[in-house]
Amino acid sequence: MNESKVVVGVGPVTFADVVAVARHDARVSISPDALDAVAASRVHIEALAEQPTPVYGVSTGFGALASRHIPHESRTQLQRSLIRSHAAGTGAEVEREVIRAMMLLRLSTLTTGRTGVRTETAQAYADLLSAGLTPVVYEYGSLGCSGDLAPLAHVALAVMGEGHVRSSDGALKPSAEAMAEHGLTPVTFAEKEGLALINGTDGMLGQLVLGLTDLHNLFRLADIAAAMSVEGLLGTDRVFADDLQRLRPHPGQAVSAANINRMLAGSAIVASHRGDDCTRVQDAYSLRCAPQVAGAARDTADHARAVAERELASVVDNPVITLDGRVESNGNFHGAPVAYVLDFLSIVVADLASISERRTDRFLDAARSHGLNPFLADDPGVDSGHMITQYTQAAIVSELKRLAAPASVDSIPSSAMQEDHVSMGWSAARKLRRGIDGLTQVLAIEVLNAARGIELRQPLTPAPATAAVIAALRRHVAGPGPDRYLAPEIGAAVELARTGALVEAAEGSVGRLS
């Protein structure tokens, strides 16, 4: 278990906090001030629970059943029934990192003192995270409105000591058994608590934070891949000049162009056709417009990050306890703000992959590769070279285009028309995760082909930065030669892309890329 710790309740949870807990198993504690705030808000709930007037979430049923007043003796059963009935997910298990991020974000809302839970309930979430016990959550069940209901209910079910969890080593165990092994006690929920545990956008938000973290690496890799393709395809670097970029002052575009310029600095290949004797007038759009596409992707991600940071600072529950002690219904659980940007990012992912595939295709077409062998083959005809790598890219890109269709424009009413407009933000988050995985593979394949194309330009030498990326790749994948079993080589390149090793290799030569 990682000995680093994230303290919840001293301000909004940050991106770094989410990554530390979700991916690096950081332990979690609650600040003393936050525990005091939780205890103070609970006083209001307990006072309202004694009143004869029905209060939603405290002494009533839920959703379309909110009109029924629940007597004292049935309220523990009410909370237990809520969680059991809402833990209705199905499909494949959700990834551990997503569940841990979701738990941390729900805990963050609980510790604001605006939800009315007891301190022991909030502490149970921190304890489960610190013990490395991850509730089993399933793929389908959230409509992204009234919170990520089914996913969060599966988490709350485990806190009750029911359902199953996976330990830090991945072993599947009954929740009560795993908690006992770690000295933890299941929680019996009191008034309002069941509702407070499931009425959040935490699942979709956690996936947004993790997705933006991954895209930070992939945006830099996209610039690296574009630079390698420009170099290997005998493109010009003049179009990336700063004064040309400033004519259209989108900030992301300037960043991308600067990165590409730094990657190409000192390239003998680029210098070889920079003179007046070069007869080429313009490069294809997939080369010349790389900063415009990757820059727009960055700017879209910046907007998404602003939305995520606002959401991280939010209290998402219904009803909430106001500062003056009122219990008020609201609509803050609606996932539209998060759902929209998740969909925007799926468009970004699809388009970055699309332009990358077009650059790869140019390497493989002898009519457009400016002197390279067809399909980068060693002995064309006998060898097929990298022909089918483009097929692999094309299959992924086609999938990403389908995933770019927005989930947030769909809405299927639920709860007997009480919940008659929903965000589908969870679905938007799930397809973004698949999209990011696809983009990683597509960019890795471009690097694989660009490296081979650059090496086939010998004796001309590449830029130091692109040479460093090729060297990192060659430690795992052999250079040009007769046909080989390609799937393991693609897999190795994808892993280097996923871990950030290709970006690190470039930055080892030119310094931190933006």
Q: Is residue 257 part of a domain?
A: yes
Span 490-510, pLDDT tens digits = 999 999 999 999 999 999 999
- Quick one: 38 and 129 in the same domain? yes
CATH of the domain at 81: 1.10.275.10
- Quick one: 405 and 502 in the same domain? yes
pLDDT at 355: 98
* Residue range of the domain that includes 279: 207-307+345-509
pTM: 0.95
Q: Which amino acid is at 461?
A: T
Three-state DSSP class for residue 34: helix
Average pLDDT of span 36-64: 81
**Of 171, 200, 229, the domain-final residue:** 200
Structure tokens at 102: 């979701």
Alpha helices in 149-267 (DSSP H): 149-159, 175-181, 193-198, 202-232, 242-245, 251-264
Q: Is residue 139 part of a domain?
A: yes
Average pLDDT of span 375-392: 97
Q: Across the chain, what does the average pLDDT equal?
A: 94
Residue tagged active-site, from 56, 138, 340, 485: 56
- Quick one: 489 and 401 in the same domain? yes
Average pLDDT of span 444-457: 98
Q: Is residue 48 part of a domain?
A: yes
- Quick one: 246 and 196 in the same domain? no
- Quick one: 170 and 291 in the same domain? no
Antiparallel, parallel or unpaired: β 172-174 and 134-135: unpaired
- Quick one: 104 and 126 in the same domain? yes
Span 138-176, pLDDT tens digits = 999 999 888 899 999 999 999 999 999 999 999 999 999
Total tally of structural domains belonging to the chain: 2
The full DSSP string for 283-302 is: --HHHHTHHHHHHHHHHHHH
- Quick one: 110 and 250 in the same domain? no
- In this predicted structure, the answer to whether residue 274 has a pLDDT above a threshold of 70 is yes
Looking only at Cα atoms, what is the longest distance across the chain?
91
Question: Is 56 noted as a catalytic residue in this protein?
Answer: yes
- In this predicted structure, the answer to whether residue 51 has a pLDDT above a threshold of 60 is yes
Average pLDDT of span 184-198: 94
Task: Name the more confident of 16 and 1.
Answer: 16
Who contacts 287 (Cβ-Cβ below 8 Å, separation ≥6)? 226, 229, 230, 233, 235, 359, 362
Rounded CA separation 359/294 (Å): 14
Report for 55-69, 186-200, 271-285: range of highest mean pLDDT: 186-200
Q: Is residue 322 part of a domain?
A: no
CATH of the domain at 292: 1.20.200.10
The closest alpha carbon to 451, from 219, 220, 225, belongs to 225
- Quick one: 51 and 150 in the same domain? yes
Span 12-28, pLDDT tens digits = 999 999 999 999 999 99
Q: Which amino acid is at 321?
A: I
Rounded CA separation 454/399 (Å): 29
- In this predicted structure, the answer to whether residue 80 has a pLDDT above a threshold of 80 is yes
pLDDT at 59: 73
**Of 200, 216, 248, the domain-final residue:** 200
- In this predicted structure, the answer to whether residue 283 has a pLDDT above a threshold of 90 is yes
Rounded CA separation 158/48 (Å): 28
- Quick one: 376 and 405 in the same domain? yes
- In this predicted structure, the answer to whether residue 276 has a pLDDT above a threshold of 90 is no
- Quick one: 90 and 229 in the same domain? no
pLDDT at 233: 97
**Of 139, 167, 200, the domain-final residue:** 200
- Quick one: 295 and 352 in the same domain? yes
- In this predicted structure, the answer to whether residue 259 has a pLDDT above a threshold of 90 is yes
- Quick one: 432 and 379 in the same domain? yes
Residue in this structure with the two tokens 């209705």, named with its chain if needed: 88
